[in-house]
Amino acid sequence: MKFCNDSRVTQFGPNPPIRSTVEIGKALKKQGQVISLEQFSAPVLLFGALNPTDLYSFASSQIGSLLAYDKTHNSQLLTTLQEFLNLRGNLEGTARILNLSVSGFKYRLLRIEAITGQDLKDPQACFNLQLALNILQLVGEELIYQNHNSK
């Protein structure tokens, strides 16, 4: 992410979303990436309300163990979870996208539930996991993984 160090960048008027976007970008330290303002709607709200460290901790508490499992076992459970949540729990559709049998996909879901301790039939659990995945997309795996391993 590229940012101008010129303080006038945030002086184009009283536009908190732009100011927040700049602050989020600096907090994420994503060098060399261009990210549009539209990608920051929920993150602006989150980063404005919370300390970024709290976000890392939240994401780590929700998906850190799954991220660690994927790294250790070279599995794709995080991707499986993301596709499942993106398709709003559609078993057959997600299995088809992942090129898995429905029974093989159900096994992966059971592994995800066992590793995360979350019930994927619980809407609040799915919301928390989706939020954690959104944070992961913003900050990258390394920050979540480091936060998980520091506990």
Which tens digits make up the pLDDT trace of 90-130? 999 999 999 999 999 999 999 999 999 999 999 999 999 99
Q: How far apart are CA 70 and CA 75, in angstroms?
A: 5
pLDDT score recorded for residue 48: 61
Least confident interval from 13-17, 74-78, 118-122, 124-128: 13-17
Which amino acid is it at 46?
A: L
- What stretch(es) of the chain map to CATH 1.10.10.2840? 52-149
Question: Token pair for residue 135?
Answer: 């944070």
Residue pLDDT, tens place only, 43-72: 556 666 667 778 888 899 999 999 999 999
- Provide the CATH number for the domain formed by 52-149 in this structure: 1.10.10.2840
Q: Residue 32 CA to chain centroid, in angstroms?
A: 20
Q: C-alpha distances in angstroms, 30 versus 18, 54, 56, 67, 74?
A: 17, 18, 15, 20, 25
Give the Cα separation of 61 and 70 in Å (integer).
Answer: 15
- Give the CA count within 13 Å in the CB-facing half-sphere of 61: 9
- Measuring CA to CA, how many Å separate 6 from each of 2, 10, 40? 12, 9, 21
